[in-house]
């Protein structure tokens, strides 16, 4: 799940909870899903940048 999807899901769960058709567990699950999506995004950025630097080193290019 992307960060954007998780944010939208959280907004929906908050609205559902506020009108009494969603549960506290549903809301907490949406918060956890958003946290997980953010963590995965950060890990992907880190991996991308790390691998980019490794590739530049192997190719003999100056590391930016």
Q: Let me know if residue 17 belongs to a domain.
A: yes
pLDDT band at 63 (very low <50, low <70, confident <90, very high): confident
pTM attached to this predicted model: 0.82
Q: Let me know if residue 64 belongs to a domain.
A: no
Q: Let me know if residue 41 belongs to a domain.
A: yes
d(CA 11, CA 33): 12
Q: Let me know if residue 45 belongs to a domain.
A: yes
For 6-61, write each residue's pLDDT tens digit.
999 999 999 999 999 999 999 999 999 999 999 999 999 999 999 999 999 999 99
Other C-beta atoms lying within 10 Å of the C-beta of residue 37: 19
pLDDT at 19: 97
Place of tokens 């609205």: 15
Q: Let me know if residue 63 belongs to a domain.
A: no
Residue 41: give the domain boundaries.
3-58
């Amino acid at each position: 799940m992307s960060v954007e999807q998780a944010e939208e899901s959280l907004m929906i769960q908050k609205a559902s909870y506020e009108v009494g058709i969603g549960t506290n567990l549903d809301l907490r699950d949406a918060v956890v899903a958003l946290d997980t999506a953010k963590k995965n995004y950060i890990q992907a950025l880190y991996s991308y940048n790390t691998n980019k630097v490794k590739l530049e080193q192997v190719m003999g290019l100056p590391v930016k």
